[in-house]
Amino acid sequence: MSDQPPSLLFADCGGNIMDFPGLALVGRSGDYLVPVLEEETMVLPRGSQLYVLPGRHPVGMDPETGEVVVLEENPYDGSRPVFAVAAFLPAAHTQTFLSAWNCAGGVKELPLFAYTAVGWKDGFVTTALRTDESHRQDPDLFDHAQVEAGIRRWRLEFPRNRLVEHLTHCATCYGCPAALNLFQGREEAPLPTSPACNASCIGCISRQTGDRPPSPQERITFVPSPEEIAEVALAHIAAVAEPVVSFGQGCEGEPLMVSETIREAIRLIRSATPRGTINLNTNASLPRKVAELADAGLDSMRISMNSARRQTYETYFRPSYPFEALARSAHEMKSRRKFVSLNLFVFPGLTDVPREAQALKRFVEETGVDMIQWRNLNMDPDAYLGMLGQKLPAGIGIRKVMETVPVRKGYFNPYLGG
């Protein structure tokens, strides 16, 4: 490694992305700007996307003086405007710093993606960690010819299954990696079931209203029958060496709202095979329903949260259930010797604030959570911080939080054997 830090990236008015060695890369952590060292970066993973951010000037640091500088014009030809650049990381990678920018004023809220710092050091580099060794959603491993062939096979085998048609739409229209895996016969398959939800998350990725950025996908409009669900699950389990099937997907509401349907589907699956891991991705709002599903044969549960602190959680989720329900649901699973993980929405400058890190550690210790999936929050950072309305102290760093909470680290729902 050299002593020279990664350099700033910017985009000109034509969308051309360039590096500027005159300014060093700066990372954002909440409202704080932090110089980024080379050892805090990794080569930009394959499958990443680079975003040009309109109305936002890039911010870098003068390596000689340490002064933070807002870049307002192209340093090579003096043209204006110039724009900040951010990276959207592929699955299995967790951001450690946000992209740094200065708003020009009157800008629209950014779409529902995660905006990670990205710079240049003999190539594109970004501030992230690979937090799961599974390659199940690596973009370069999807074979679209295999996916198309898989869709044809599934439609021939299950011509009247509405869930198969819904997942076909997810794969072909949205490129949903979970749906692509189903049709490619790999690892984890999705089982979306619920059009309804009992929360109203600010950053919901299946339903947005008013002048908010649009959701990146449409929510399922029907409840599949237990038989339709079981058909999909059993076919996947039979075809895959280490199969996982998961209720609770990005294209639906809260699966516990249709728990009776899911319970019957689990019974049908388990009456046919003991193989595979049956997982539930959920807000864990209804502990009794969780207990019923566990008794029916549910193997694992992943609880979504942006924070283990009530105030921060409720501001984002806007729930119609008590915050205490999450811990009670975890206890229902652990009392039955089931696997529990957290789907933690990581946001540098919030997740690593000391009181947030302490609350997370306490929640894990008190509930017996087995794993944290460190997943990036998909939302405009300025909008998120404005919505929270909290004056936050400096964070200790995402890497440090991961060390502070001594529990299995990952990104995906694991296969548990069987």
**Domain identity same for 318 and 359:** yes
**Domain identity same for 338 and 405:** yes
pLDDT classification of 406: cutoffs 50, 70, 90:
confident
Give the pLDDT confidence score for residue 1 in this predicted structure: 52
pTM: 0.96
Number of structural domains (the chain) is 2
Give the pLDDT confidence score for residue 403 in this predicted structure: 95
**Domain identity same for 115 and 209:** no
368-380 per-position pLDDT tens digit: 999 999 999 999 9
Of 62, 95, 130, the position where a domain reaches its end is 130
Flag whether 142 is in a domain: no
Average pLDDT estimate for 84-102: 98
Average pLDDT estimate for 10-34: 97
Boundaries of domain holding 224: 148-410
**Domain identity same for 102 and 171:** no
13-22 per-position pLDDT tens digit: 999 999 999 9
137-181 per-position pLDDT tens digit: 999 999 999 999 999 999 999 999 999 999 999 999 999 999 999
Average pLDDT estimate for 329-340: 99
**Is 94 within 8 Å of 128 (Cβ atoms)?**
yes
Going by their DSSP bridges, the two strands 56-61 and 17-29 should be labelled as antiparallel
Average pLDDT estimate for 317-330: 99
Flag whether 417 is in a domain: no
**Domain identity same for 116 and 154:** no
**Domain identity same for 306 and 211:** yes
pLDDT classification of 209: cutoffs 50, 70, 90:
confident
**Domain identity same for 71 and 156:** no
Rounded to 5°, angle at Cα 205 from 304 and 218: 130
Flag whether 143 is in a domain: no
**Is 305 within 8 Å of 298 (Cβ atoms)?**
no
Of 104, 130, 156, the position where a domain reaches its end is 130
281-293 per-position pLDDT tens digit: 999 999 999 999 9
**Domain identity same for 116 and 82:** yes
**Whole-angstrom Cα distance, residue 148 to residue 385?**
41
In our burial notation (b when 16+ CB lie closer than 10 A, e otherwise), range 81-118 reads bbbbbbbbbbbbbbbbbbbbbbeeeeeeebebbbbbbb
Average pLDDT estimate for 266-291: 99
| Percentage of the chain modeled with pLDDT above 70 | 100
| Percentage of the chain modeled with pLDDT above 90 | 96
Average pLDDT estimate for 332-355: 99
Flag whether 139 is in a domain: no
**Domain identity same for 67 and 171:** no
**Whole-angstrom Cα distance, residue 273 to residue 295?**
16
pLDDT above 80: residue 3: no
Average pLDDT estimate for 204-217: 92
The residues, ordered by sequence, that sit 6+ positions from 159 with a Cβ below 8 Å of its Cβ are: none
Average pLDDT estimate for 55-82: 96
Average pLDDT estimate for 92-98: 99
**Domain identity same for 214 and 120:** no
Give the pLDDT confidence score for residue 2 in this predicted structure: 62
**Is 411 within 8 Å of 138 (Cβ atoms)?**
no
Average pLDDT estimate for 60-89: 97
Flag whether 311 is in a domain: yes
Q: Among 398, 396, 377, which Cα is nearest to 387's?
A: 377
Q: Please report, for the domain that includes residue 205, its CATH number.
A: 3.20.20.70
**Whole-angstrom Cα distance, residue 413 to residue 298?**
13
**Whole-angstrom Cα distance, residue 178 to residue 132?**
16
**Domain identity same for 110 and 157:** no
58-68 per-position pLDDT tens digit: 999 999 999 99
Of 130, 163, 179, the position where a domain reaches its end is 130
